C-alpha cells in the first residue's frame, strides 16, 4: 500500500519530501536555544525592576521560540515552489501594514514620535518592517528567477544615435523600474515612521537578490549613491545626533546622550577572555539599557568572555556559509535567489548589530537574530529559516553532503 501511494505522488511532491539539511537545522536550533538562555540571563534584573516575575521575559521568549521552531518545521514541509505565487500576497500585505502603522489608533507611538509597531491583543507588538523584509525577498526572487540568462545585445556606434531611450533599454534600466518602484514606496513609508535600520535591512535583502540574479554592477553603484541621499534625508534630529555621539561618545557623556554606548563598551570590556560566568554579569543590573534586546551581545561578552562571544559569532558564520551552500546547490534559480536573500539578510543583521554595540557604527535599533528579545521577530526569523530548509529538501541527492 505504501509503495502504491508513493507512485501516486507527483514528481514535485516527491522532491518536496526530501531530507532536511541537518547542519543548517542544527545550527538554527543551537542558536535559538542559546539565545533563549541568554535572554533569561540578561532580562531577569529588568523584569524584577518592573515588578514582574524574574522569568517573565524568559517564559515568553521560550514560548515563542518553541512555536517558531514548529512553524519552521511546518514551512520546511511546504514545496517552496508555492512561495512563488504567495510572494505577491506577502508583499501586498506588508505594504498595507506599513501604511496601517502610520494610522493613529493602530500604531503604538513612543514619546519621541517614532511609530513602528502594531499591537496585537494577547500577543504583543510587532513591526510591519519584519514582514516587508520577507515580502521583498520572496517577490524579487520569484520575478527575477524568470529573468533570461542571455546578455543584452551590444550597442553599436550607429545605434547610439537612436537616443537615450534606446540606451536605457539596452542597459537594463526599464527592467529595474518595477523593483525600484516597489523599493521607493517602501522607503517612503519607512521614512514616515521613521525606521532607518529597517530600511537598510530591506534594501540589503533586495540588493542581494538583484546581485545574485545578475544585475549589472553599474546599477548598484548608481543605486548606492541614491540610497545615501535617501538615508541622509531620513535622518531626523535624534538620528543626526547619534552620528555626533558615535564620533566621540565621551564628549556627550555629561548630557547622557552617549550613556548607552559607553555602558555597552564597559560591559564588553569587563568580560575579559573567559567572562564572569553565565548569569553573573553586573552591567545588566540597570546600568546597560536594553540588555535583553538590541544590546544583548555586550551581556554575552561580559558573561561568556571573548571566547564565548567568538564561539557564537562562529556559529552565525557557519549558518551563513551553510545557507550559501544550499543556495549554490539549489534545484532551480528561484530556490537559489530565495536562499541568498534570506541568508544575506541574516548576515547583514548580525554584522550591523555587533558593529553598533561595539561603536563601529552609530547606534540604531537593529536586533541580534535569535538572541534579542521579541517573540514575533523570532518567529518570523525562524519562518525564514524554514524557507531555506524547504529549498534544501529538493537538493539533488548527488550534491548533498
Contacts 24+ apart (CB under 8 A), 282-291: 284/41, 284/42, 284/45, 284/46, 285/45, 286/45, 286/46, 286/49, 287/263, 288/260, 288/263, 288/264, 289/259, 289/260, 289/263, 290/260, 291/42, 291/43, 291/45, 291/46
The average pLDDT across 226-247 equals 65
Report d(CA 175, CA 170) in Å as an integer: 10
Helix axes 22-49, 375-393, angle to 10 degrees: 180
Q: What is the pLDDT of residue 158?
A: 53
pLDDT value at 251 more than 50: yes
| 280-290 pLDDT per residue, tens | 999 999 899 98
% of the chain beyond a pLDDT of 90: 58
Total domains in the chain come to 1
Q: What is the pLDDT of residue 59?
A: 95
The single residue listed with the C-alpha cell 550591523 is 352
Q: Which domain holds residue 239?
A: 10-146+157-396
Residue 401 placed within a domain: no
Mean pLDDT of the chain: 85
Residue 307 placed within a domain: yes
**What pTM did the predictor assign?**
0.88
Q: What is the pLDDT of residue 1?
A: 43
* C-alpha radius of gyration, the chain, whole number: 23
Residue 295 placed within a domain: yes
Q: How confident is the model at residue 396 (pLDDT cuts 50, 70, 90)?
A: confident
Q: How confident is the model at residue 147 (pLDDT cuts 50, 70, 90)?
A: confident
Residue 4 placed within a domain: no
**Least confident piece of the model among 174-178, 210-214, 346-350:** 174-178
| 33-44 pLDDT per residue, tens | 999 999 999 999
- Residue 202: Cβ-neighbour burial (10 angstroms; 0-12, 13-18, 19+): buried
Residue 151 placed within a domain: no
Q: What is the pLDDT of residue 150?
A: 46
The average pLDDT across 348-370 equals 91
Report d(CA 339, CA 330) in Å as an integer: 9
| 52-80 pLDDT per residue, tens | 999 999 999 999 999 999 999 999 999 99
Q: What is the pLDDT of residue 22?
A: 95
Residue 80 placed within a domain: yes
Q: What is the pLDDT of residue 4?
A: 45
Identify the H or E element spanning 17. Answer: none
Q: What is the pLDDT of residue 45?
A: 93
Amino acid at each position: 500500500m505504501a509503495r502504491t501511494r508513493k507512485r501516486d505522488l507527483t514528481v514535485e511532491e516527491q522532491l518536496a519530501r526530501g531530507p532536511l539539511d541537518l547542519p543548517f537545522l542544527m545550527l538554527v536550533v543551537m542558536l535559538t536555544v542559546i539565545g533563549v538562555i541568554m535572554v533569561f540571563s540578561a532580562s531577569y534584573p529588568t523584569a524584577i525592576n518592573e515588578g514582574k516575575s524574574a522569568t517573565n521575559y524568559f517564559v515568553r521568549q521560550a514560548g515563542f521560540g518553541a512555536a517558531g521552531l514548529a512553524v519552521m518545521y511546518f514551512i520546511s514541509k511546504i514545496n517552496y515552489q508555492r512561495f512563488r505565487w504567495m510572494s505577491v500576497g506577502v508583499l501586498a500585505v506588508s505594504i498595507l501594514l506599513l501604511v496601517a502603522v502610520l494610522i493613529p489608533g493602530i500604531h503604538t507611538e513612543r514619546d519621541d514620535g517614532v511609530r513602528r509597531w502594531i499591537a496585537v491583543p494577547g500577543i504583543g507588538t510587532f513591526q510591519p518592517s519584519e514582514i516587508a523584509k520577507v515580502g521583498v525577498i520572496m517577490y524579487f526572487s520569484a520575478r527575477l528567477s524568470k529573468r533570461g540568462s542571455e546578455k543584452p545585445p551590444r550597442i553599436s556606434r550607429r545605434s547610439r544615435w537612436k537616443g537615450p531611450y534606446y540606451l536605457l533599454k539596452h542597459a537594463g534600466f526599464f527592467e529595474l523600474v518595477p523593483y525600484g518602484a516597489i523599493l521607493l514606496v517602501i522607503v517612503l513609508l519607512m521614512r514616515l515612521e521613521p525606521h532607518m535600520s529597517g530600511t537598510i535591512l530591506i534594501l540589503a535583502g533586495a540588493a542581494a537578490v538583484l546581485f545574485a540574479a545578475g544585475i549589472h554592477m553599474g546599477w548598484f553603484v548608481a543605486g548606492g549613491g541614491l540610497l545615501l541621499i535617501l538615508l541622509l534625508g531620513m535622518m531626523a534630529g535624534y538620528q543626526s545626533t547619534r552620528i555626533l555621539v558615535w564620533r566621540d561618545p565621551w564628549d556627550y557623556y555629561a548630557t547622557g546622550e552617549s550613556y548607552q554606548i559607553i555602558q555597552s563598551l564597559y560591559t564588553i570590556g569587563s568580560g575579559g577572555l573567559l567572562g564572569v560566568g553565565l548569569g553573573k554579569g553586573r552591567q545588566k543590573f540597570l546600568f546597560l539599557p536594553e540588555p535583553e534586546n538590541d544590546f544583548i551581545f555586550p551581556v554575552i561578552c561580559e558573561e561568556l568572555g571573548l571566547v564565548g562571544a567568538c564561539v557564537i559569532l562562529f556559529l552565525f558564520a557557519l549558518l551563513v556559509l551553510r545557507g550559501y551552500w544550499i543556495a549554490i546547490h539549489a534545484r532551480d534559480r528561484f530556490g537559489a535567489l530565495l536562499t541568498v536573500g534570506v541568508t544575506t539578510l541574516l548576515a547583514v543583521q548580525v554584522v550591523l548589530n555587533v558593529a553598533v554595540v561595539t561603536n563601529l557604527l552609530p547606534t540604531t535599533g537593529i536586533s541580534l537574530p535569535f538572541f534579542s528579545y521579541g517573540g514575533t521577530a523570532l518567529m518570523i526569523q525562524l519562518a525564514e529559516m524554514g524557507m531555506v530548509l524547504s529549498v534544501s529538501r529538493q537538493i539533488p541527492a548527488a550534491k548533498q553532503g
